[in-house]
Amino acid sequence: MTSLNQIAESIVANNRGILAADESTPTIGKRFAGINVENNEENRRAYREMLFTTEGAEDYIGGVILFDETLRQSTADGTRFADLLSSKGVHPGIKVDMGAKPLAGAAGETCTEGLDGLRARLEEYSKLGAKFAKWRAVITIGDGIPSDYCLDVNAHALARYSALCQEAGIVPIVEPEVIMDGEHSLEDCMEVTRRALTAQFAALDTQRVALDGILLKPNMVVAGSNCATRPSHDEVADATVALFKECVPTAVPGIVFLSGGLSEEDATANLSAMNARHKDLPWKLSFSYGRALQQAALKAWVGETANLDAGRAAYAHRAKMNSLACSGTYASELETA
């Protein structure tokens, strides 16, 4: 799995991370609605082109996750997005799951679907230039949940997807996300994340997935969005790193955290605290952010051609801040420097 390992390591090398630009058509529609932009194919294409043509972003971004439509699109001058990214040394990736659906026999829980026909889709995506892929499981903390049943079926699906990706020469991003929604404490999140990761790595082992050819995309250990007690960045960092030392094998090249509803600056500060406070870790701690990289760019752009440079500047700034977080050198004062 040398080539897979090389791709995985290069994505997170030199304090780089991942831009998650894989919003489905309905999801990007919600983002556009917030800035009064019509959700049509040309606007989606133009917005992604703005991000992908940002000069210097490749210094901070090692991979970009694309949606099926986006992988097939091109810049206004006819350059395929996958080719554009590759020319900058940025690996194109692809979202391959079909979303979380209600889990039969488990009220309030979901299982992510999309395994049917995945082998053939991965073969096509590889020909289109995809070097890595993403599959997200959604795990909710609530009254009596998540069940072991929910954790096991999602871990199995993620492991099956991972094995198929590696068969196709594509690096799988493994994303078992314990979502922030709820009133649970940081300690509750830590325990559920421990259960999720334990189930996940057992499933990956069973299905013969080479751990040096994956990237793990987990949640940080945080309190629920409605929890009255808000842990500090240092508390989040210490709890997260302690748990991952316990649960994540050293063979994994990188951990690319999701932002999961955190604000742009909180996501950056948490990651920086991890890297500043904890040295000599066996894996790179980096980022795979969607909204936490894009929100400022969306607001600066608002669908206007005249604002493309402003949108690019906003995106480049957030990418740079998160790259600094990978080295533990981010500081809030840099936001206005």
Which domains does the chain possess?
2-325 (3.20.20.70)
What pLDDT is stored for residue 91 in this prediction?
Answer: 98
Q: Tell me: pLDDT of 9 over 50.
A: yes
| Mean pLDDT computed over 293-309 | 96
Q: From CA 251, how far away is CA 297, in angstroms rounded?
A: 35
Q: Tell me: pLDDT of 2 over 60.
A: no
What pLDDT is stored for residue 336 in this prediction?
Answer: 85
- Please, is 224 exposed, middle or buried when counting C-beta atoms within 10 Å of its C-beta (0-12, 13-18, 19+)? buried
What pLDDT is stored for residue 281 in this prediction?
Answer: 97
pLDDT band per the 50, 70, 90 thresholds, residue 205: very high
Residue 30, classed as helix, strand or coil, is helix
Q: Tell me: pLDDT of 215 over 70.
A: yes
pLDDT band per the 50, 70, 90 thresholds, residue 332: very high
Beta bridge partners of 285: 255
pLDDT band per the 50, 70, 90 thresholds, residue 337: low
Tell me the torsion sign for CA atoms 141, 147, 149, 152: positive
Q: Tell me: pLDDT of 189 over 80.
A: yes
pTM of the model: 0.96
- The active-site residue out of 23, 49, 109, 175 is 175
Q: From CA 15, how far away is CA 286, in angstroms rounded?
A: 7
| Mean pLDDT computed over 181-195 | 97
Q: Tell me: pLDDT of 1 over 70.
A: no
Q: From CA 60, how far away is CA 16, in angstroms rounded?
A: 5
Percent of the chain topping pLDDT 70: 99
Q: Tell me: pLDDT of 329 over 90.
A: yes
Based on the residue annotation, tell me whether 42 is a catalytic residue of this protein. Answer: no
181: left (phi over 0), alpha (psi -120 to 50) or beta: beta
On average, the pLDDT of the chain sits at: 97
Q: Pairing state of beta strands 110-112 and 100-102?
A: antiparallel
- The active-site residue out of 95, 131, 134, 217 is 217
Based on the residue annotation, tell me whether 217 is a catalytic residue of this protein. Answer: yes
